[in-house]
Amino acid sequence: QVQVMESGGGSVQSGGSVRLSCKVSGYTDEGLCIGWFRQTPGQEREGVAAIDSDGISTYKEAVKGRFSVSQDIAKTTLDLQANNLKPEDTGTYYCGAERCMASRYLLRDFVNIRHWGQGIQVTVSS
């Protein structure tokens, strides 16, 4: 059984930083892609950043240059370093894991993701 565990997050002021960590366990298939997604009340979930099994990462345009992802050697974790945070980055952040061909597809087609974490809150105050 695949499990996705998230940690990190919290409340920061505008311009601050947070680090989110995601650990995927129990995945036995090939082509594991892991991504971070966020959602605010009344809004649809959106992709923030993802990485595929080739180590290629994809970012939402609005976070490029501010957010970065990194993995462990086993490629079963995905850390999201979020810098220079803005109030519009506020939301519940979810880690999702699924087999995919490329990270850009994971971000775009996240409705197909079967394995999700419980979500963690990030609040950025102005």
Measuring CA to CA, how many Å separate 54 from each of 39, 87, 89, 110, 119? 27, 33, 28, 19, 26
Reported as a single tens digit per residue, the pLDDT across 61-80 is 999 999 999 999 889 999 99
The pLDDT value given to residue 22? 98
Reported as a single tens digit per residue, the pLDDT across 95-111 is 999 999 999 999 999 99
Give the H/E segment covering residue 104: helix 103-108
Average pLDDT, the chain: 96
Query: Of 86 and 41, which is predicted with more confidence?
Result: 86
